[in-house]
Amino acid sequence: MIKASLRDIPRTDLVGRPLLVRADLNVPMEAGRITDDTRVRETLPTLRLLRDGGARTVIISHLGRPKGPDPAFSLRGVSDLLRESIGGTVRFHPGLVGPEARSAVDSLEDGSVLVLENTRFHAGETKNAPELAGALADLAEIFVNDAFGAAHRAHASTTGVADEVRMRGGKAVAGLLLDREIKVLGSLLREPERPFVAVLGGAKVAGKVEVIRALLPQVDCLLVGGAMANTFLCALGLELGESLVEEDKVELAHEILRDAGDRIVLPVDCVVAKHIEDGAAVRVIPRDSVQPGDRIGDIGRASRELFGGLLDDARTVFWNGPMGVFEMAAFREGTVAVARSVAIATDRGALTVVGGGDSAAALSVAGVAGKVAHVSTGGGAALEFLAGAQLPGVAALSDR
Ligand code: ADP
Ligand code: MG
């Protein structure tokens, strides 16, 4: 079912109207400082469209995982950042619902923005409590969900409020970012241009099994690296020393390999060390030469060339999860090589999509941030979407 988007709302319906926008302002913070503003930047097109249309924008979002009201998780700092990024009037109100929030909304001028306080200060948020959803729906007749990163959760500020707004005869629509995420990720599942090469890595098979199963019928090949590959190599009966292996997923990996045939491509060599630490003495060895006591920290040179060659021909690429412990220089090259191959594929005109916080960070480490067609703002949401799950935040929107 195609969902209504902000673009479907006539401009004349925006002027002078309060619109409630669920943004994803859940930025990473360290010691009270915002360390990465990507999520704020990504939602700006939606906010600019509303401002230029003369709407009165009311933003709600969660930030972190506070157990209740907690100044350390206030959205005030994020609203300051928003003011610098968007220009114009951006106000902050230290509450979310009720008469005071209502009067803050009522006193908005056309084209201005109001940021309300963290939705997770209310216990009803994660429980999708009808009272909270109803109180949020009291704030506006049009609800815009732009929080793709939270679309896989059925919370009061994502699904509850959308249901409530629709029930009262209003509209719940996708913001420009959420709309783009769904379109790009959806195009990977619907007749992708071939060859379609997926690259999966990272620490765990668990949580990504459904994605592997859903992607396998779609892709021409699935390259597996990172600790995830260890579990597959273990399923082939190889010695892995002290490497990270999910013992309880080996049987599953075996089944997947049996069903996938040669579409799953595993590393042929690896970078090992006695300890995964900065400055570790490393050896690059074939995958069948791992000694007891060795730990695999990255894919080796032959694997980099193998993966790079397959990515060279790709017309569609999806990448999630680093090829090694890329946080440390000694185990970084596999991930950097994949990041560069993805950037080169983009230059050649391939549709390239990267999902996952660590994978996005790896693009920066490799110096190719901005050189992929689409970096998803929702790691978990992107994976669930690709695995075929109906995202509750999307399902709750009005049909077009
Ligand atoms: P993303 O955030 O992109 O979805 P994940 O969170 O699944 O990626 O995985 C990232 C983590 O996987 C990184 O912290 C990285 O150090 C770790 N990792 C990758 N390969 C290995 C390995 N061989 N051994 C241990 N950890 C690994
Ligand atoms: Mg991660």
Site to substitute for ligand 1 among 208, 243, 295, 326, most atoms within 8 A of C-beta: 326
Site to substitute for ligand 1 among 242, 326, 358, most atoms within 8 A of C-beta: 358
Query: Per residue in 56-89, is it b (16+ CB within 10 Å) or e — as a string?
Result: bbbbbbbbeeeeeeeeebbbebbbebbbeebeee
- Cα distance between residue 249 and residue 193, in whole Å: 32
Nearest ligand to the C-alpha atom of residue 361: 1
Query: Could you identify the atom of ligand 1 that is nearest to the CA of residue 298?
Result: 23
Yes or no: domain 191-386 corresponds to CATH 3.30.700.30: no
Q: What is the 332 CA–ligand 1 centroid distance (Å)?
A: 11
State the number of CA atoms in the 13 A half-sphere of 205 facing the CB. Answer: 24
- Cα distance between residue 226 and residue 18, in whole Å: 47
Q: What is the 363 CA–ligand 2 centroid distance (Å)?
A: 13
6-180 and 191-386: identical CATH topology? yes
Asked if 39 contacts 77 with a C-beta cutoff of 8 angstroms, the reply is no
Nearest to 319 by CA among 379, 249, 398: 379
Q: What is the 335 CA–ligand 2 centroid distance (Å)?
A: 14
Ligand 1: residues with CB < 6 A are 201-204, 226-227, 244, 296-297, 320-322, 324-325, 327, 356-359, 379
Q: Decide: residue 155, CB within 10 A, 0-12 exposed, 13-18 middle, 19+ buried.
A: buried
Q: What is the 357 CA–ligand 2 centroid distance (Å)?
A: 5
Nearest to 347 by CA among 317, 302, 376: 317
Site to substitute for ligand 1 among 228, 232, 234, 325, most atoms within 8 A of C-beta: 325
Nearest to 189 by CA among 161, 167, 219: 219
- Cα distance between residue 391 and residue 384, in whole Å: 7
- Cα distance between residue 37 and residue 25, in whole Å: 9
Place of tokens 């970078």: 271
| pLDDT score of 356 | 87
- Cα distance between residue 293 and residue 324, in whole Å: 18
Instruction: Find the farthest-apart pair of alpha carbons in the chain and give their distance in angstroms, rounded.
Output: 70
Nearest to 207 by CA among 325, 378, 357, 380: 380
Q: What is the 3-state secondary structure (H, E, C) of 235-280?
A: HCCCCCCCCCCCHHHHHHHHHHHHHHHHHEECCCEEEEECCCCCCC
Nearest to 110 by CA among 50, 45, 43: 50
pLDDT along the chain (400 residues), means of 10: 93 96 94 90 96 97 96 96 92 97 97 98 98 98 97 97 98 97 93 96 85 91 97 97 95 94 96 96 98 98 98 97 97 98 97 93 94 93 90 96
CA nearest ligand 1 atom 16, residue = 325
Question: Where do the structural domains in the chain lie, given as residue ranges?
Answer: 6-180, 191-386
Nearest to 320 by CA among 292, 348, 361, 291: 361
| pLDDT score of 1 | 74
Q: What is the 130 CA–ligand 2 centroid distance (Å)?
A: 32
Alpha helices in the chain (DSSP H): 38-42, 44-52, 76-86, 99-106, 124-127, 130-137, 161-167, 176-189, 209-215, 226-235, 250-260, 301-312, 333-347, 357-365, 379-386, 392-395
Asked if 173 contacts 3 with a C-beta cutoff of 8 angstroms, the reply is yes
Nearest ligand to the C-alpha atom of residue 322: 1
In the chain, what is the straight-line distance between the N-terminal and C-terminal CA atoms, in Å?
Answer: 8
- Cα distance between residue 393 and residue 251, in whole Å: 34
- Cα distance between residue 43 and residue 208, in whole Å: 27
CA nearest ligand 1 atom 25, residue = 227
Please give the distance of CA 273 from its chain centroid, rounded to a whole number. 31
- Active-site residue numbers? 39, 204, 357, 380
Nearest ligand to the C-alpha atom of residue 270: 1
Nearest ligand to the C-alpha atom of residue 380: 1
Place of tokens 């928003």: 82
For the 6-180 domain, the top CATH level (class) is: alpha beta
Query: Could you identify the atom of ligand 1 that is nearest to the CA of residue 322?
Result: 19
Query: Could you identify the atom of ligand 1 that is nearest to the CA of residue 320?
Result: 3
Query: Could you identify the atom of ligand 1 that is nearest to the CA of residue 203?
Result: 12
Q: Decide: residue 109, CB within 10 A, 0-12 exposed, 13-18 middle, 19+ buried.
A: exposed
DSSP 370: T
Query: Could you identify the atom of ligand 1 that is nearest to the CA of residue 243?
Result: 24
- Cα distance between residue 114 and residue 137, in whole Å: 16
Q: What is the 328 CA–ligand 1 centroid distance (Å)?
A: 11
| pLDDT score of 206 | 79
CA nearest ligand 1 atom 10, residue = 202
| pLDDT score of 306 | 98
| Two tokens, residue 67 | 């157990």
Q: What is the 255 CA–ligand 1 centroid distance (Å)?
A: 23
